């Protein structure tokens, strides 16, 4: 039934699976609540957002404002203060005391790690690996990789994601550059999980023992690094499940288990899981595996190809784990269609990989940044990765250091979570073929021996710049929020400008999107978005410490080609 003052088009609300799923939040994160509010005649009214705790008590009443004359569209904020379940409602009343209150809509405030993180990825077998004089390679392991943790921590990364650390199958093992036949001594693809040494709850013997892994995790925690493990629900033909639970796989007419295919690609070394024959048995086994790794100190899981599994499976799995361990987060590696990516977020995934990797032009970045920060932020948290072992985007293939710096600035300042795969800081950029987006000599198929110390000594590394970006992120609350991203007009299609504000922390970012030459323009700062009264203000560039006097219309010039190139300004406004 229509209420006395109709309140419609309420956001953020997400109806999914026959219910309203909670809007995503963390404690002290302001959520913009919007609604269209209608009343007859010309009399005024006041509207407020009610923040309600799990017991049903109203904990805050925040005013809503008309966002544009004649629009009937109002906005206010709800800011949960603690972890757990909350809800919001909209209360409308006039001077005579006539009022209406909308129904309640859920909010779930999760661990801050669900929103905020600087992710780094490396293969333990490559860290500390040694190339012998005869060309053979001695694999790294958890003990040698432990020595690399300081390098990761020194760059300011606080989550280290490891590709699968489990035994790798021998049957149909892939070789160098995805060749269908592995040569003797080739290590195989970590995603071909399972051998006589065990499955998803076992450690690849070439990496060490469970005790070695425990020591690795403990050493990471001392450096304030969380270890994220890969949850890849697939098996090699040698996985124990292939013998003990053949009902968990799809069989061909001849009774053999079907391997994975993504035409024209064939993955003879991988058996995909079939969830239809024994759903409950599979769910219980996956829960057992996740609980085992949680018992080893793991609080983050990067989930491989979740879009190839039933969405309701993830909803049940994540809800079960988070009820027991609310501090655990799941990152969806779902480079797929938008509807499926969004469905996984609605089903419970705390974060997701995104299309940022392929958004290059100013308009693409503005459109996508607006989408993830405003339109989908109630149910979808983006993690902007600049590269992955699977993806070497075309714009990096020039090897120009400026494009690596530019993309790192964009990823690390547009969203509160971003990620980088090892080798990015060394400007690795050679594709497997012209027009392709895969690395030549991909680390998925072989062990990489990198000379980190030599690159640092020669100055051939982006690591100092990455370190500065992560330090800026850590020091500024504005960069630890998603919904506060606002874009500002510039007179050049090669220069993008945006702001982020949290309380008195106001950050302005201007980036030259052309890594090959200088561009100059005027940025037209929207003072309303900045929350400033004066058209003139002082800023400090956090990248080099220089001070500038800026104004509502600010001229900027960014030249990435100079010996000390400048691809961006990342400035803090001095709030009086």
What does the pLDDT look like over 416-443, one tens digit per residue?
999 999 999 999 999 999 999 999 999 9
The least confident of 48-62, 262-276, 463-477, 535-549 is 262-276
Domain 7-109 and domain 486-573, same fold? Reply is: yes
CATH class of 7-109: mainly beta
What is the domain partition of the chain in residue ranges?
A: 7-109, 117-233+278-480, 486-573
Would you say 93 and 64 are in contact if contact means Cβ atoms under 8 Å apart? no
In sequence order, what DSSP letters do the residues of 414-437 get, joined into one string? HSSEEEEETTGGGT---BSSTT--
Task: Give tens-digit pLDDT for 320-346.
Answer: 999 999 999 999 999 999 999 999 999
Task: Work out the percent of the chain whose per-residue pLDDT is above 70.
Answer: 99
Residue 49, token pair as written in the block: 């957002």
Mean pLDDT calculated for residue range 42-50: 93
- pLDDT band of 1, cuts 50, 70, 90: low
Mean pLDDT calculated for residue range 34-46: 91
Query: Which pLDDT score, from 0 to 100, does residue 4 have?
Result: 87
Mean pLDDT calculated for residue range 559-576: 90
Element (H, E) at 120: strand 117-121
How high is the mean pLDDT of the chain?
96
SS3 126: coil
Query: Which pLDDT score, from 0 to 100, does residue 265 have?
Result: 77
Give, in degrees to the nearest 5, the angle at Cα 487 between 12 and 87.
15
Residue with token string 């995503």: 24
- pLDDT band of 565, cuts 50, 70, 90: confident
Query: Which pLDDT score, from 0 to 100, does residue 43 have?
Result: 85
In CATH, the number for domain 117-233+278-480 is 3.20.20.80
Active site residues: 304, 333
Distance, CA of 566 to CA of 74 (rounded, Å): 41
Distance, CA of 342 to CA of 426 (rounded, Å): 33
- pLDDT band of 308, cuts 50, 70, 90: very high
| Whether the predicted pLDDT of 209 surpasses 90 | yes
| Whether the predicted pLDDT of 207 surpasses 70 | yes
Is the dihedral angle over the CA atoms 435, 441, 445, 451 positive or is it negative?
negative
Query: Which pLDDT score, from 0 to 100, does residue 89 have?
Result: 98
Query: Which pLDDT score, from 0 to 100, does residue 487 have?
Result: 98
| Whether the predicted pLDDT of 262 surpasses 90 | no
User: What number of other Cβ atoms are within 10 A of residue 550's Cβ?
Assistant: 19
Mean pLDDT calculated for residue range 213-219: 98
Length of the chain: 576
Distance, CA of 81 to CA of 269 (rounded, Å): 48
Distance, CA of 450 to CA of 438 (rounded, Å): 19
SS3 207: helix
Distance (Å) of CA 88 to CA 24, 67, 482? 13, 20, 20
- pLDDT band of 563, cuts 50, 70, 90: low
Query: Which pLDDT score, from 0 to 100, does residue 493 have?
Result: 98
CATH superfamily of 486-573: Golgi alpha-mannosidase II (2.60.40.1180)
Task: Give tens-digit pLDDT for 74-132.
Answer: 999 999 999 999 999 999 999 998 989 999 999 999 999 999 999 999 999 999 999 99
Classify burial at 5, counting beta carbons within 10 Å of its beta carbon; exposed 0-12, middle 13-18, buried 19 or more. Answer: buried
What is the separation, in whole angstroms, between the first and last Cα of the chain? 49
């Amino acid at each position: 039934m229509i209420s006395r003052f109709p309140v419609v088009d309420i956001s953020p609300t997400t109806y999914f699976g026959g219910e309203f799923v909670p809007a995503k939040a963390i404690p002290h994160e302001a959520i913009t609540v919007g609604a269209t509010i209608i009343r007859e005649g010309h009399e005024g009214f006041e509207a407020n957002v009610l923040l309600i705790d799990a017991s049903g008590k109203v904990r805050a009443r925040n005013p809503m404002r008309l966002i544009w004359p004649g629009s009937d569209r109002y906005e206010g904020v709800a800011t949960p203060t603690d972890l757990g379940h909350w809800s919001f409602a909209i209360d409308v009343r006039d001077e005579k005391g006539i009022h209406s209150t909308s129904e309640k809509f859920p909010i779930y405030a999760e661990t801050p790690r669900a929103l905020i993180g600087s992710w780094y990825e490396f293969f333990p077998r490559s860290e500390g690996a040694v190339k012998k004089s005869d060309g053979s390679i001695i694999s790294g392991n958890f003990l040698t990789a432990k020595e690399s943790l300081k390098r990761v921590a020194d760059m300011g990364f606080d989550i280290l994601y490891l590709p699968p650390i489990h035994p790798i199958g021998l049957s149909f093992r892939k070789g160098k550059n995805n060749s269908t036949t592995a040569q003797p001594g080739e290590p195989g693809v970590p995603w071909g999980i399972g051998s006589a040494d065990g499955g998803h709850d076992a450690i690849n013997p070439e990496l060490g023992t469970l005790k070695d892994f425990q020591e690795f995790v403990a050493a990471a925690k001392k450096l304030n690094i969380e270890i994220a493990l890969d949850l890849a629900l697939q098996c090699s033909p040698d996985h124990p499940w292939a013998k003990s639970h053949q009902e968990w796989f799809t069989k061909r007419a001849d009774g053999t288990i079907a391997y994975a295919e993504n035409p024209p690609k064939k993955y003879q070394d991988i058996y995909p899981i079939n969830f239809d024959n024994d759903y409950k048995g599979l769910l219980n086994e996956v829960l057992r595996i996740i609980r085992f790794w949680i018992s080893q100190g793991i609080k983050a899981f990067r989930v491989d190809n979740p879009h190839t599994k039933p969405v309701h499976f993830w909803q049940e799995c994540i809800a079960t784990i988070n009820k027991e361990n609310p501090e655990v987060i799941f990152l969806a590696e779902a480079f797929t269609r938008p509807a499926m990516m969004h469905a996984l977020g609605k089903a419970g995934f705390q974060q997701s990989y995104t299309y940022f990797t392929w958004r290059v032009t100013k308009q693409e970045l503005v459109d996508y940044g607006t989408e993830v920060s405003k339109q989908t932020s109630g149910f979808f948290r983006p993690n902007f990765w600049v590269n992955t072992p699977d993806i070497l985007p075309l714009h990096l293939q020039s090897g120009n250091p400026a494009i690596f710096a530019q993309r790192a600035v964009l990823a690390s300042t547009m969203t509160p979570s971003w990620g980088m795969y090892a080798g990015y800081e060394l400007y690795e950029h050679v594709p497997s073929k012209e027009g392709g987006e895969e690395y030549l000599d991909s680390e998925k198929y072989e062990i990489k021996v990198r000379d980190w110390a030599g690159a640092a000594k020669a100055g051939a590394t982006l690591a100092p710049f990455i370190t500065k970006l992560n330090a800026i992120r850590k020091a500024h609350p504005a960069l630890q929020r998603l919904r506060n991203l606002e874009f500002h007009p510039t007179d050049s299609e090669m220069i993008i400008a945006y702001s982020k504000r949290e309380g008195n922390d106001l950050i302005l970012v201007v980036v030259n999107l052309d890594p090959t030459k200088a561009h100059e323009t005027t940025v037209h700062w929207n003072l309303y978005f900045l929350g400033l009264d004066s058209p003139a203000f002082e800023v400090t560039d956090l990248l080099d410490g220089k001070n500038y006097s800026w104004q509502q219309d600010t001229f900027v010039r960014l030249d990435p080609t100079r010996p000390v190139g400048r691809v961006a300004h990342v400035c803090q406004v001095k709030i009086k």
